[in-house]
Structure 1
Amino acid sequence: MHGVALFLHILGATIWTGGHIILALIVLPKALKESSTKILLDFESVYERIGMPALITQIVTGIYLALNIESDVLNWFNIDNRVTNVILIKLALLTLTTCFAINARFRVIPNLNESNLALMGWHIRAVTIISILFVFVGVSFRTGWLY
């Protein structure tokens, strides 16, 4: 089961991070150049169908994988344990992602227009960087980069 969970977790990360890299490096510059909210909204509506399930898959499998590393959830917050510090970093990144998603979904996107398109751009860039950090931290479980 661990192997299946790890595979699904990596697949979800590939979809989530890859989609945000495409959004940040290809779609966003075109939308900003043309001052077009439609370009962003069209991408978001298509990507959301696969991106959100990928994120949910990562959350579920991430919890499962973290429980395999440390079954006592309270120990995930033990800053004296280097291995569980990596879990804590992942949880912090998830919290940041959630905050950006809620803000974008309920504040930025409903009011999106040409004048605040740059604000959405900052959200996209931030979530893209966070998603890349997610991958880096995940790889560190195997490489030991962070402990």
Structure 2
Amino acid sequence: MYQLMLILHVLGATVWTGGHLVLAITILPQALRRRDAELILSFESRYERVGIPALVIQVVTGIWLAFRMLPDPAAWFGFETDVASHIGVKLLLLLLTAAFAVDARMRIIPHLRAETLPSLAWHIIPVTIFSVLFVVVGVGLGTGGIL
């Protein structure tokens, strides 16, 4: 069961991080240059069909994996061991991702136009960085720790 959960977790991370890298590196610069919000909206509408399920899979499998590695959730934010530190950092990254996503979804995307593209960029770039950090921290956890 562990291997299946880890595979699903990594596949979810691949979709989530890959999608955000494509958005941040190719779509966003093009949209900003052209001042064309539709490029972002078009990408988002297609990507969310796979991106959101990938994120849900990561959250579910991540919690399962965290319980398996450290059965006491109170210890997840204790930062007293390498495992606890990695789990705690990943949960903090998840909270930051959720905060940026909710803010963008509620405040910016409903009114997205050329003038508001820079505000959205200030959300896309951090979420992309968080997604890469998720991978880095996860690999660190699986290879002996980086924290």
TM-score, with normalisation over the residues of structure 1?
0.97
The answer on 1:112 being equivalent to 2:91 is: no
- Kindly report the root-mean-square deviation, in angstroms, between the aligned alpha carbons of the 2 structures: 0.9
**Greater CA drift, 119-128 or 88-97:** 119-128
For residues 25 and 77 of structure 1, the distance between their equivalents in structure 2, rounded to whole angstroms, comes to: 33
The answer on 1:143 being equivalent to 2:140 is: no
Equivalent residue for 1:60?
Answer: 60
For residues 72 and 31 of structure 1, the distance between their equivalents in structure 2, rounded to whole angstroms, comes to: 45
Equivalent residue for 1:11?
Answer: 11
For residues 73 and 100 of structure 1, the distance between their equivalents in structure 2, rounded to whole angstroms, comes to: 24
Distance apart, 1:23 and its partner CA:
0.4
Distance apart, 1:142 and its partner CA:
1.8
Distance apart, 1:113 and its partner CA:
1.3
For residues 88 and 135 of structure 1, the distance between their equivalents in structure 2, rounded to whole angstroms, comes to: 14
For residues 66 and 100 of structure 1, the distance between their equivalents in structure 2, rounded to whole angstroms, comes to: 24
Equivalent residue for 1:81?
Answer: 81
Spell out the pairing of 1:17-96 with structure 2 (5 A cutoff): 17-96=17-96
TM-score, with normalisation over the residues of structure 2?
0.97
Distance apart, 1:104 and its partner CA:
0.5
**Greater CA drift, 34-43 or 76-85:** 76-85
Check whether the contact 2:15–2:51 (CA below 8 A) recurs between aligned residues.
Answer: yes
Distance apart, 1:145 and its partner CA:
3.5
**Greater CA drift, 92-101 or 115-124:** 115-124
**Greater CA drift, 71-80 or 134-143:** 71-80
Check whether the contact 2:82–2:145 (CA below 8 A) recurs between aligned residues.
Answer: no
Deviations 1:22-46 (A, max 9, x none): 0001111111111001000000000
Unaligned runs of 5+ in 1: none
Distance apart, 1:10 and its partner CA:
0.2
SS of the residue 1:60 aligns to: helix
User: Sequence identity of aligned pairs in percent?
Assistant: 49
After TM superposition, where is structure 1 displaced by more than 3 Å over at least 4 residues in a row?
Answer: none
For residues 142 and 29 of structure 1, the distance between their equivalents in structure 2, rounded to whole angstroms, comes to: 34
Equivalent residue for 1:128?
Answer: 128
Unaligned runs of 5+ in 2: none
Distance apart, 1:117 and its partner CA:
0.5
